[in-house]
Structure 1
Amino acid sequence: MLSGAEKTYIEAGAAQGIRADGRGLLDLRPVTLETSLLPTASGSARVRIGGVTDILVGVKAEVVEPHVNAPDEGLMSFAVECSSLASPDFVGRGGADLNAELSQLLTRLYASSATRELRRGLALIPGRKCWVLHVDALVLDSGGNLYGALSLAVRAALRVVTLPRVVIIPGEADDDDEIEVNEEVFERLSRSEDAPVAVTLSAVGGRGIYIADSTSEEEACAKAAITMGVNLAGRACGAVSGGTGGVDMDTLKSMLKDAVRVGGDILKTTDSFLQDDIARMESGEEVEPVGFFS
């Protein structure tokens, strides 16, 4: 819990364009990104922001029937678990509510039209068979910007997902087609580059002042926040608001514009780090697990 003096210090600094840790208003903290940590997962990633917020994501795939309303698309399910050791706020009902909120955020991000081609890449036999990706995330530690860290970890895990090669075996009629899963050969997830990242901008202090990648202390000072999903093409994948206050229309327009720009920078930068892993997968080379789970 911040004191009144601490809140005043943070707000006054933001008004001058300088934050408590020395960053500018839209500057991001250092990010550590690891992939392919879990050998039994189809894809995995760990993201740490500022050495504090720490999230681990694993993706598992299985063949199921597609949803009746989207017969030519695959499925994605999301489950987020906030460790009770990460924050006292995660103990009991508060943690359960946050788990549901974060899971719902991911579901919204990946249900948008901007990710339709990614979902279509999971279809096998339209109306009959498709892949479902079970995305499980564990929040190991929390130091602010959970939405952004979570979406980045999920996207990194999806970028390195590999699926067994599936061969369609034609039947006498279209409805008789079957599939054969080859567990010896793996292929990269189609259109994983369409996966979005969430950018949260928090309104702190006076009118028109907002910051990116907020720390826990800064989030406690924010009167309102906007979280927008952004993909590599610069398309919005939905937006949600938070906080008990509001912002004027001009500030909102500016926040949404900056969210797209910040999101684009994050995507391009992280993709440049992922290229080595992606190139090895496309060449058929096995990617060895790294990090403390290897």
Structure 2
Amino acid sequence: MQFLSDAECEYIRNGAKDGIRSDGRAMLDIRPVTLETTVLPTASGSARVRIGKVTDILVGIKPEVAEPSQDFPDEGIISFTVECSSLASPDFVGRGGADLSAELGQLLTRLYTSPVTRELRRSLSIIKGKKCWILHIDALVLDSGGNLFGALSLAVRAALRVVILPRVIVIPGEADDDDEIEVDEEEFKMLERSRDAPIAVTLASQGDRGIYMADCTSEEESCATASITMGVSPLGKSCGAVSAGTGGIDLDTLSSMLKDAAQLGLEILDATDRFLKTDIDNRMSGAPIVPIGFFS
């Protein structure tokens, strides 16, 4: 996080009161976003997301067949590893980067263990109680310019939308023998229910009642007194919300923030899904692939 002087924070907060931000955006406007998929040839699914001129996230997915959790025998597993590159920010050198990596990984895990994403996890089941897919999702923060979790959740969702899994054939066992599986590396399919993957929207309060903004830059984040991050599914359902910061948020403002986060999340999901459909169609037809830009 970038630390500013009291005078600089006062400038940002006074501008927020008048609905003015340093880059000219309205309070709930998103910076230009660029999305690129299948950027890692060794991964089964991958995506890169850039927000503004700085924030840059790379995500890769590798699947593995394993045993499901005993608590959820009919579901697969989605695990996350997040690394904040020390080159992305001086704050990421040493313990600071490790702590933030752990926090981002925990937030992603919370999104994808929500009841709202249960059908997505169930689509990873192969043999109930015996075999399932584990998706190992590795994320790298290449550069940091604010709204890291929003960019990270968007990159994870894009990678899930284009991930391909080998075809699995279930061979029934004889008598008391367990069923066996055979993985066909010559035939692949896309992940069922990947459209259910959520994204996260963070709104940050600048101290005054009813004053908050979306997609904060590092400077705006450093001046925020409190923030709310909400997971939003394509059906507009909440996947949970977490708060941060030392300040408080009154109930009326909190209610307004959650409502705006849900609406903004749906707009982002709609925009990305339209572009991802074009991207997937182009890949299947063999057309040239180019990075996708929106909210510009």
Fold similarity call, TM over 0.5: yes
Corresponding residue of 2:181? 179
Q: Does 1:81 align with 2:83?
A: yes
Q: CA deviation at 1:5?
A: 1.9
> Which of these residues, 39, 42, 63, is aligned with residue 40 of structure 1?
42
Corresponding residue of 2:127? 125
SS at match of 1:118: helix
**Matched residue type, 1:12:** N
Conserved? CA contact 1:37–1:289, under 8 Å: no
SS at match of 1:154: helix
Separation in structure 2 between the aligned mates of residue 121 and residue 287 of structure 1, nearest angstrom: 29
Separation in structure 2 between the aligned mates of residue 250 and residue 265 of structure 1, nearest angstrom: 23
Conserved? CA contact 1:36–1:287, under 8 Å: no
Aligned positions of 1:83-232 closer than 5 A: 83-173=85-175, 176-232=178-234
SS at match of 1:61: strand
Conserved? CA contact 1:12–1:205, under 8 Å: no
Corresponding residue of 2:26? 24
> Which of these residues, 249, 265, 268, is aligned with residue 266 of structure 1?
268
Separation in structure 1 between the aligned mates of residue 16 and residue 59 of structure 2, nearest angstrom: 33
SS at match of 2:261: helix
Conserved? CA contact 1:200–1:259, under 8 Å: yes
Separation in structure 1 between the aligned mates of residue 75 and residue 214 of structure 2, nearest angstrom: 34
Moved more, 170-179 or 234-243: 170-179
Q: 1:103 to 1:175 in 2, by over 3 A?
A: farther
Conserved? CA contact 2:198–2:232, under 8 Å: yes
SS at match of 2:39: coil
Aligned positions of 1:252-291 closer than 5 A: 252-279=254-281
Q: 1:190 to 1:173 in 2, by over 3 A?
A: farther
Separation in structure 1 between the aligned mates of residue 230 and residue 175 of structure 2, nearest angstrom: 45
Separation in structure 2 between the aligned mates of residue 248 and residue 286 of structure 1, nearest angstrom: 53
Conserved? CA contact 2:279–2:289, under 8 Å: no
SS at match of 1:106: helix
**Matched residue type, 1:179:** I
Separation in structure 2 between the aligned mates of residue 198 and residue 255 of structure 1, nearest angstrom: 13
Conserved? CA contact 1:82–1:90, under 8 Å: yes
SS at match of 2:25: coil
Q: 1:29 to 1:175 in 2, by over 3 A?
A: farther
Conserved? CA contact 1:38–1:289, under 8 Å: no
> Which of these residues, 9, 12, 17, is aligned with residue 10 of structure 1?
12
Separation in structure 2 between the aligned mates of residue 186 and residue 261 of structure 1, nearest angstrom: 35
- In structure 1, runs of 5+ residues without a counterpart are none
Percent identical: 70
Separation in structure 1 between the aligned mates of residue 257 and residue 85 of structure 2, nearest angstrom: 31
Deviations 1:179-235 (A, max 9, x none): 111101110001000000000000014111000000000001100000000010000
Conserved? CA contact 2:207–2:226, under 8 Å: no
Q: CA deviation at 1:4?
A: 2.0
TM-score (norm 1): 0.95
Corresponding residue of 1:63? 65
Q: CA deviation at 1:173?
A: 4.5
Separation in structure 2 between the aligned mates of residue 180 and residue 286 of structure 1, nearest angstrom: 29
Q: 1:189 to 1:175 in 2, by over 3 A?
A: farther
Separation in structure 2 between the aligned mates of residue 20 and residue 144 of structure 1, nearest angstrom: 14
Runs of 4+ aligned structure 1 residues displaced above 6 Å come to: 286-291
Q: CA deviation at 1:277?
A: 3.0
Q: How many residues align?
A: 289
- In structure 2, runs of 5+ residues without a counterpart are 292-296
Separation in structure 1 between the aligned mates of residue 188 and residue 15 of structure 2, nearest angstrom: 51
Q: CA deviation at 1:174?
A: 7.4
RMSD over aligned Cα atoms: 1.5
